[in-house]
């Protein structure tokens, strides 16, 4: 389009009236279908009017030349029509600041949160014409999603700042981040704060406020249900009409939460009808991956409650069979657990193991199935038997050259170590941690936050080992951790404990003094609480108990019933402390006569035997014991005297 034609087009339109711009552009295109300027003006007007599908049709009609000329508008149209992957690819080709915004939004929808965080960090470094508040809102949303996706170490903020609590969007995102970290109490406070900020806004109508408050309330219901406050969650769920929520994903999640928050168990067949919905119908605003996984788990749980064991087993087995070899994918392993429950027909204990142990022979590398069997043994109180399938699984992974990261995954190693410690097998636990530490020390580029925590635990446990190799490995672990983060006090303390010669004075100064650490410790309370007794054997470690402290409080004397009191009982008179002893054992006993005194002397310790007089009768000799025989109860060793006979 020439400059005069473009100027005449702009003169005929009002810049605020996008319908007029659209009409003028279409009028121009009737004269010349290939007019690039008119085509560009048309797609901009369609985007301003939220007619995104029509904008895509206009781009397809305009061809590649229009897509290259209006690359930013094309990427935005793709994003708004539910094609974020294509939108990110198109926006990546542009160099303008607007392209970075669209790419960040598209990356967010494709759950490439790492790339989105990187882009928003670049945009925040140079604000230019962007509103700082908008960037803060988008960055906080990305931080929350990083927490859900398991990349919380990449989040820019863990705790909201004062500026974040001044807008309800950033406060809401901070609450979502707290939920992802499991900080439910903090999330509940932030959600209440979000509602208060939203209700106090004066530039929003009541309808707009209600539209913003609905997702906040849905999150509150979830938090209350997670805290076990079912009655509060159910009451709050009644305050919203889930069917009136315009957003399809939010509406479906609200309906599912209302079922989960019910105090009474829902009819599984009715719940199945409400939950069984094809998630593809929620396009373009599909739930995120972690939400989709939970919704599918709910669907499987309802199917199991409806006793659809065969169908559930077949459906989950089809998805499991597509995976070659062991996997750490959370969704896939959750399907393995559902599949195990379907084969066991919701039974537990020995009955479930009868079905699952043969299944393990057919799927020996199924991580979810192995952990389910281990859990069933532990719940049944047979932790010793849980070691066998777990150790066999670990041995199979060690033999596979492609499964090393699965073998030494923090969750699997943590399961084995916890099991060993519970059985008192401290040496096995230390050996397992040592092997895991050597594996991850050789792969510094693959260390995630979970691996760092595993290395810290391994270093701490190996410090207690008497093996010199373990002590050297602990020193190496803490040295690597300290290089990774010089401000980590745990790593500095571990390095000081493992290798005092390697620790610098600056590292020692960063640690808190011992006097400050024990300032609030009350030794007397600890002594009164009792002393933990070490287990006497490996098997006793499971049932080791803490010896209770001696009760220093004076016990109240029980009152004796009147029916058990003697007639001459005097409560003022102190009873004889030797009243329970036999009469001859009391200190007040005095025998009577010569025989009684002689007999008493025999009972006295250290007393000399009485000298027999000439007139005294000799003692009766003891009966001879016949070896090799037992005396019966009715017969004796004497021969019965015959009638009329002599001795």
Residue 594 CB coordination number (10 Å): 9
The Cα diameter of the chain in Å comes to 163
Element housing 546 (H / E)? strand 546-547
CA distance 221 to 241: 13
Residue 493 lies in a domain: yes
Q: Which of 86, 110, 134 is the last residue of a domain?
A: 110
Assign 641 to helix, strand or coil.
coil
The contacts of residue 646 (CB under 8 Å, 6+ apart) are none
Lowest mean pLDDT among 94-108, 523-537, 549-563: 549-563
Quote the mean pLDDT of the chain. 81
Residue 46 lies in a domain: yes
Residue 338 lies in a domain: yes
Residue 106 lies in a domain: yes
Residue 180 lies in a domain: no
Q: Above 70 in pLDDT, residue 28?
A: yes
Q: Which of 459, 484, 512 is the last residue of a domain?
A: 512
CA distance 96 to 90: 12
Instruction: Considering only residues 337 and 133, tell me which one the structure prediction assigns the higher pLDDT.
Output: 337
Tell me the pLDDT tens digit for each residue of 153-198: 888 888 888 888 888 899 999 999 999 998 999 999 999 999 999 9
Tokens of 644: 């009329």
Residue 508 lies in a domain: yes
Tally of structural domains, the chain:
2
Cβ burial of 494 (10 Å; 0-12, 13-18, 19+) is buried
Domain interval for residue 70: 1-110
Q: Which of 110, 141, 158 is the last residue of a domain?
A: 110
Question: Which pLDDT value is given to residue 118?
Answer: 92
Question: Which pLDDT value is given to residue 594?
Answer: 74
Residue 193 lies in a domain: no
Question: Which pLDDT value is given to residue 508?
Answer: 65
Query: Across residues 473-482, what is the average pLDDT?
Result: 90
φ/ψ of residue 547, rounded to 5:
-70, 125
The contacts of residue 449 (CB under 8 Å, 6+ apart) are 151, 152, 153
Question: Which pLDDT value is given to residue 131?
Answer: 73
Residue for token pair 């552009």: 25
Tell me the pLDDT tens digit for each residue of 425-454: 999 999 999 999 999 999 888 888 889 999
Q: Above 90 in pLDDT, residue 599?
A: no
Element housing 303 (H / E)? helix 289-305
Residue length, the chain?
647
Query: Across residues 561-587, what is the average pLDDT?
Result: 80
What does the DSSP assignment read for 307-337? T-HHHHHHHHHHHHHTS-S----HHHHHHHH
Residue 9 lies in a domain: yes
Instruction: Considering only residues 333 and 265, tell me which one the structure prediction assigns the higher pLDDT.
Output: 333
Question: Which pLDDT value is given to residue 643?
Answer: 41
Residue for token pair 């305009």: 62
Q: What is the CATH number of the domain that holds 429?
A: 1.25.40.10
Tell me the pLDDT tens digit for each residue of 486-497: 878 888 888 888
Query: Across residues 442-470, what is the average pLDDT?
Result: 89
CA distance 588 to 596: 15
Assign 127 to helix, strand or coil.
coil
Residue 97 · residue 123 · CB < 8 Å = yes
Q: Above 60 in pLDDT, residue 628?
A: no
With cut-offs at 50, 70 and 90, classify the pLDDT of residue 555: low
Report cis status (omega within 30 of 0) of the bond before 641. Answer: no
């Amino acid at each position: 389009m020439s400059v005069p034609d473009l100027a005449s087009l702009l003169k005929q339109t009002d810049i605020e009236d996008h319908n007029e711009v659209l009409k003028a552009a279409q009028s121009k295109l009737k004269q010349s279908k290939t007019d690039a300027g008119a085509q560009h003006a048309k797609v901009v007007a369609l985007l301003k009017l939220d007619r995104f599908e029509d904008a895509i049709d206009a781009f397809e009609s305009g061809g590649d030349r229009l897509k290259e000329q209006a690359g930013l508008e094309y990427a935005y149209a793709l994003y708004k029509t539910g094609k974020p992957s294509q939108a990110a690819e198109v926006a990546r080709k542009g160099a303008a600041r607007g392209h970075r915004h669209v790419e960040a939004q598209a990356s967010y929808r494709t759950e490439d949160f790492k790339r989105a965080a990187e882009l928003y960090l670049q945009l925040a470094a140079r604000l230019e014409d962007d509103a700082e508040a908008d960037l803060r809102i988008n960055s906080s949303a990305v931080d929350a999603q990083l927490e859900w996706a398991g990349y919380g170490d990449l989040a820019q903020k863990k705790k909201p700042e004062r500026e974040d609590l001044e807008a309800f969007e950033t406060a809401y995102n901070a609450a979502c981040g707290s939920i992802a970290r499991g900080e439910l109490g903090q999330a509940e406070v932030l959600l209440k704060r979000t509602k208060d900020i939203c209700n106090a806004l004066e530039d929003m109508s009541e309808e707009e406020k209600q539209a913003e408050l609905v997702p906040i309330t849905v999150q509150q219901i979830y938090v209350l249900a997670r805290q076990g406050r079912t009655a509060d969650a159910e009451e709050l769920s009644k305050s919203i009409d889930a069917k009136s929520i315009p957003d399809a994903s939010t509406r479906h999640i609200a309906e599912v939460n209302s079922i989960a928050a019910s105090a009474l168990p829902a009819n599984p067949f009715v719940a199945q009808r409400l939950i069984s919905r094809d998630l593809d119908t929620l396009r373009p605003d599909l739930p995120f991956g972690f939400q989709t996984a939970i919704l599918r788990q709910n669907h499987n749980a309802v199917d199991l409650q409806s006793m659809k064991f065969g169908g559930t087993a077949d459906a989950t087995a089809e998805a499991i069979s597509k995976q070659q070899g062991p996997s750490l994918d959370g969704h896939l392993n959750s399907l393995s657990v559902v599949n195990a429950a379907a084969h066991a027909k919701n039974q537990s204990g020995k009955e479930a193991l009868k079905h699952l142990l043969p299944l393990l022979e057919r799927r020996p590398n199924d991580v979810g199935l192995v952990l389910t069997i281990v859990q069933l043994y532990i719940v049944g109180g047979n932790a010793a038997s849980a070691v066998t399938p777990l150790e066999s699984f670990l041995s199979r992974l060690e033999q596979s050259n492609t499964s090393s990261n699965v073998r030494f995954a923090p969750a699997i190693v943590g399961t084995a170590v916890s099991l060993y410690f519970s059985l008192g097998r401290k040496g096995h636990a230390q050996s397992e941690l040592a092997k895991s530490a050597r594996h991850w020390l050789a792969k510094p580029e693959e260390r995630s936050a979970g691996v760092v925590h595993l290395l810290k635990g391994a270093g701490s446990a190996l410090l207690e080992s008497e093996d010199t190799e373990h002590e050297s490995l602990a020193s190496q672990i803490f040295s690597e951790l300290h290089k990774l983060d010089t401000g980590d006090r745990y790593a500095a303390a571990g390095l000081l404990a493992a290798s005092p010669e390697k620790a610098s004075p600056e590292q020692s100064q960063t640690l808190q003094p011992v006097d400050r650490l024990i300032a609030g410790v009350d030794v007397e309370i600890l002594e009164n609480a009792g002393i933990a007794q070490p287990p006497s054997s490996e098997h006793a470690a499971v049932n080791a108990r803490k010896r209770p402290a001696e009760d220093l409080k004076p016990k109240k004397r029980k009152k004796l019933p009147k029916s058990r009191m003697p007639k001459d009982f005097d409560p003022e008179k102190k009873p004889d402390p030797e009243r329970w002893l036999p009469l001859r054992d009391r200190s007040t006993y005095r025998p009577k006569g010569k025989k009684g005194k002689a007999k008493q002397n025999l009972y006295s310790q250290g007393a000399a035997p009485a000298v027999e007089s000439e007139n005294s009768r000799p003692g009766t000799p003891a009966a001879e014991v016949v070896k090799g025989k037992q005396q019966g109860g009715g017969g004796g060793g004497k021969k019965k005297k015959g009638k009329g006979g002599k001795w």
